[in-house]
Structure 1
Amino acid sequence: MKNKLYKLISALFILVLFYAGNAFSQEDLTIHLMPVIPQSNYTNPAFMPSAKIHVGFPVMSSYYFGLSHSGFTYKDIVKRLPNDSLEITMDNMIDKLGKKNYLSANIMEELLSFGFKVKKNYFSFSLTEKVSFRFSYPRDLLSLVWKGNGQFVGNTADFSGIGINVIHYREYAVGYAREFTPKINVGIRLKFLQGLMNVSTKKNDISINIDGNDFAHTATTDFLINMALPEGVQDPLDTNKNTKSNFDFAKYITNMQNKGYGFDIGGSYKLNEKIAFGASLIDFGFIHWTTNVHNYSNTVESFKFDGLDINEFFNSDSTQAGGMENLADSISEIFKPVKTQNDYWASLPAKLYLTAIYSLTPHDKVGLLIRNEFFNKSIHPSLTLSYNKWFFKALSASASYSIMNRGFANIGFGL
């Protein structure tokens, strides 16, 4: 039963990788260019919605899910033959990968919100649950798994940049925006952050050189992984298999020990009746993690080892779960990470939005958005073009086209 379950999970994970490149929800890219609705204020606190007052409750408030993958797609790995049969082309898939590739997922649920206008001022409050998952992996990693280490004999396999960042936190935000002149709006949102769970790869520079003569493996490592887990949850890297989890959900969601602070800031400028610009910095902040903390690090100039048997994972005589445990134990034995339990600070994945809007008519606008997300010491840009139509004061629609994650088939709609 367990073996079937792990096979199902593996299949679902591969399907996610296949389709994630086009499955990413473009909500934050689309609504940003609809400044009259309350949710656009979340991506630029200077935007003031047209309604004088708005209130959001659980279930009836905003909910957002986004999934993105910058690596391979279904067409890169599955080829349809002339006889309509399908062929798996792993080599082609690996060739399509970038040097570094990213898989990410985001969930945001607005639990409570309200906002109101007083003359030229706009005040707002929101309580939001946020979950973010980001995994980065190098091309050499999948190439090693599929083709083996023979391709790297006499060369170096570069695994730098591999990492995982998972964060679950609750955001309490108070916002203020003001129309200083008919042309200039400025807004800011201050946030208190309640950290609930975090896994953060602070640094990860790993490479393995395979000597062309004696095939000796020489590894160079410099990594640091921080974890702040819910109380009662077992450390996944703990080699003590006798440790049991005792997770308490009520304690988890009410934990106030991991505190953080952040802010959003933005502005808009109306050049004339036709052209307007906007800029904003969103989710700039940090959380101090102190609950059930584990740190794993290894800073070694270089060391030699006999190699790693990937077949331990694919061994058909054992379950995939057992194979994964064997492989994890082998990696742990080779790299021998040092474990500590020190509190740490971790930043949020900040985003920078730059916009330009052109009014075709009072009810028709086109927009351009450049969005940059900062993650894993890299900038991840996207470009969005949109068309927005106002039918009447309470109803508007938007259609958008985006270029992101090395993909060109990203379409979004908003109403």
Structure 2
Amino acid sequence: MKTKITVKRILLIILIVASGNLMAQNNLSFYHMGKGIPQGGNYNPAYFPDARVFVSLPGISGIDLSVNNSFSISDIFTETGDSTLIDIGKFLGTQQKKKSFLNVDLDVTDLMIGFRVGENMHFSLFVNDKFDFTFFYPIDLMNFVWKGNAAYVGQNFVADQMGYTTTHYREYGVGYGQTFNILDRPTTIGARFKYLNGMLHNSTQNFSVSILTDEADYSLTASFNEAQIRSVAFSQLTDDEEEEFDESYFIFNENAGFGLDLGARMQFSEKLGLGAAVNDLGFINWKQHAELINFKGTSFTYSGIDLDDPDSFGQAIEDSLKNLEPDTVAATFTTKLNARTYFSADYQVTPKGQAQATIANYMTQGRIKTSIGLGYTQQVGRWFTASATGSYVPQQGVDLGLGMMFRLSTFQLYVAADNIFNTIDVPNASAANINFGINFLFGRAEKKNKKKVTPPVTPAPPAQAEPSEEAMKVTPAAEPEEEEDYSDYEHLWKKRK
């Protein structure tokens, strides 16, 4: 089947790509605070809040947004006197030294319920929506577009190493965690098993195009060498008259997959704890509304516009693309999830204060992005927790993250943000991360039942006998015993003894 490339379709693709610079993955402040929040289980399945039961409701309970790119506003604009001008040359100069990319991650909690069974076991049920956008682009192509083709007359300019991925899927899962005594140390092991339902996908890898500048009229002929796009359901987002909108598709469809999260936390000593987690191991098999669009071997020629009629630009582009008809076929293909890993250590500095260190890795399109964080979390009573984290991310440098959690009875409100310096310094901002939401927690993890001990009663001596000296002694009553409170990891360490 042939697919006609229209300006409307191109604008849709440009819009999708451009959205990336408005909104990718750090979240270390939230990870350091996550043991007390239901959504912390999204990062380490061994985590469970201080509650017997928790409920997270749609729309209010969990928003997790991450933003990273390789440029900032100050890379684009230059101040000249009282004016601020767009400086594309400056932008290209700053990007030449970097791996140019845009990345967006958005996770939304649709519903989550968790409960404890006994003192050492917990379960959870959850539904989450996940959105991911990643775009790697060659800066040489932008240089070619901006500086022109004069240096390439009569020869090919090759633009490659370009790739992007856009994915939206919904996960339905069950989580399980239990505390064991491993190597004589309390260790909580958790796992989450997830059924995945894919909604949208659009991606290409190793996209390569050759652009030839004609020596006679300077027209441009673009020939696609390696160019295949995998697309799922994007036709549902356009007003294509040939494609009937399928409402039920976005509720539940045939694009199925499986995901797995694993996590553990060991109380290594009375004050030192170690944690590790591997999240989003899995795949999605795409087959409903799935297609492969193959551009390999296709080409189009752009001859320029009439300078006397600048409004003809759009028409000139559309005319040039009329002959670009890639082969489109229905297909089935499989994609992997973008896995994440966390390795952490925490040290109990005070009874309510912890110092933490974490290394996080995020994988996308075969590339790894690493974040390193050092933080401190302080609990005030049972109603307030605050966290501060210093982080280092390559290409972004050192930054600050802050987090707060309020709990009043069953009501819990939390917010955590990373890249504070980046966010405040808007002209130089290239990243932003924020988590916020409201949960409802019922009960506490510990039990404080006291054992009432009845003091022994000394029997009265016979009336006819003189009481002996021993009988005159009164046996003291035994002190009532109280069960220990094992509400935190330090108490678990004491309990093992």
TM-score, normalised to structure 1, is 0.80
> How far, CA to CA, are the matches of 1:232 and 1:244 in structure 2?
10
> How far, CA to CA, are the matches of 1:11 and 1:234 in structure 2?
13
Contact 1:161/1:376 (<8 A) preserved: no
Flag the 1:218–1:38 CA change in 2: closer, same or farther, 3 A: closer
> How far, CA to CA, are the matches of 1:324 and 1:33 in structure 2?
51
Displacement of 1:339: 2.3
Displacement of 1:273: 2.8
Structure with bigger gyration radius: 2
> What amino acid is the match of 1:223?
A
> How far, CA to CA, are the matches of 1:311 and 1:371 in structure 2?
50
- Deviations 1:144-194, CA, capped at 9 Å, x for gaps: 221123355699755333222111111101111111124322111000011
Unaligned stretches of 5+ residues in structure 1:
1-5, 236-241
Flag the 1:380–1:189 CA change in 2: closer, same or farther, 3 A: same
- Identify the residue that residue 358 of structure 2 maps to in structure 1: 369
- Deviations 1:73-120, CA, capped at 9 Å, x for gaps: 111121223x33223321121121155322122222211111112221
1:133-172, aligned counterparts within 5 Å?
Answer: 133-151=133-151, 157=157, 159-172=159-172
Q: Give RMSD over aligned pairs.
A: 3.7
Percent identity of paired positions between Structure 1 and Structure 2: 27
- Which has the bigger relative contact order, CA under 8 A and spacing at least 6? 2
- Deviations 1:318-376, CA, capped at 9 Å, x for gaps: 475x566456x27x73xx64322111111121111222223322222222222211111
1:9-408, aligned counterparts within 5 Å?
Answer: 17=21, 28-34=27-33, 35-70=35-70, 72-81=71-80, 83-97=81-95, 98=97, 100-118=99-117, 119-151=119-151, 157=157, 159-181=159-181, 182-201=185-204, 203-206=205-208, 208=210, 221-229=225-233, 232-234=236-238, 243-248=241-246, 250-298=247-295, 316-318=310-312, 325=318, 329=321, 333=324, 337-404=326-393, 406-408=395-397
> How far, CA to CA, are the matches of 1:323 and 1:397 in structure 2?
58
> How far, CA to CA, are the matches of 1:155 and 1:187 in structure 2?
58
Flag the 1:150–1:364 CA change in 2: closer, same or farther, 3 A: farther
Give the paired residue count.
385
Unaligned stretches of 5+ residues in structure 2:
1-9, 405-497
Displacement of 1:413: 2.2
> What amino acid is the match of 1:170?
R
- Deviations 1:257-315, CA, capped at 9 Å, x for gaps: 11111111112233323332222111111111111222023556xx9x79756779xx8
> How far, CA to CA, are the matches of 1:33 and 1:310 in structure 2?
55
Contact 2:54/2:114 (<8 A) preserved: yes
> How far, CA to CA, are the matches of 1:376 and 1:88 in structure 2?
31
> What amino acid is the match of 2:202?
V
Flag the 1:175–1:342 CA change in 2: closer, same or farther, 3 A: same
SS where residue 143 of structure 1 aligns? helix
Flag the 1:394–1:158 CA change in 2: closer, same or farther, 3 A: farther
TM-score, normalised to structure 2, is 0.68
